[in-house]
Amino acid sequence: MGAHSIKTSSTGRRVAAAGLLAAGAAVAGSGTAAAAPVTVDVPVELRLPGVPTQVTVDLPEGIALPAGLQQAAAPVQEFATPAPEVSTGQKILDAASTRVGSPYVWGATGPNSFDCSGLTSWAYQQAGISIPRTSQAQIGGGTQVAKGDLQPGDIVAFYSGASHVGIYAGNGQVVHAPYSGTSVSYAPLDSMPFYGATRYY
């Protein structure tokens, strides 16, 4: 009788346990379907005090941002390319070059007509440099430059006694106001007898 009672009791426990397992499986299955984890990539900006960190992820189409989160547009950084710095000598040459075609007039210092030293003094003035007025005084001042060391903007003197001056333009050329009846123009450096050169910058 006691054995029968134990057997019945044991069977009852096994049946009850099986019932519980089945119920648990149903609940677990139901819970898994209802609360399955969903991963969503959301573009968010995390702001932490004292930490300049920004985390941004892609947001798929049709997915709304969770409440309390705001989408932050990524900042666009623009870098301006600095303009190349123009040397003083180049500024002087550029100024003289703008006068090409202007007539030679003895004693004229521009801006519409020039004699040789009038052109050089005017071009230097455009670069903020004041130099003597006459060709002899111009070549006698500044820093003397050898013919092989000429740079654009240097004053070059020609003929005996430095009776004529021009501005070295590079590549073996000078820009100058030649003589009456001509106009400001370029000429080969070696087309006139070289006297000397000087630099005021």
- Active site members: 116, 164, 176
Helices 88-97 and 116-126: crossing angle, nearest 10°? 130
Q: What are phi and psi of 31, to 5 degrees?
A: -65, -40
Q: Cα(95)–Cα(100) distance, rounded to whole angstroms?
A: 10
Q: Cα(19)–Cα(25) distance, rounded to whole angstroms?
A: 10
Q: Do 187 and 176 form a contact (C-beta atoms < 8 A)?
A: yes
Beta bridge partners of 157: 165, 196
Q: What is the CA radius of gyration of the chain?
A: 45
Q: Do 186 and 169 form a contact (C-beta atoms < 8 A)?
A: yes
Length of the chain: 201
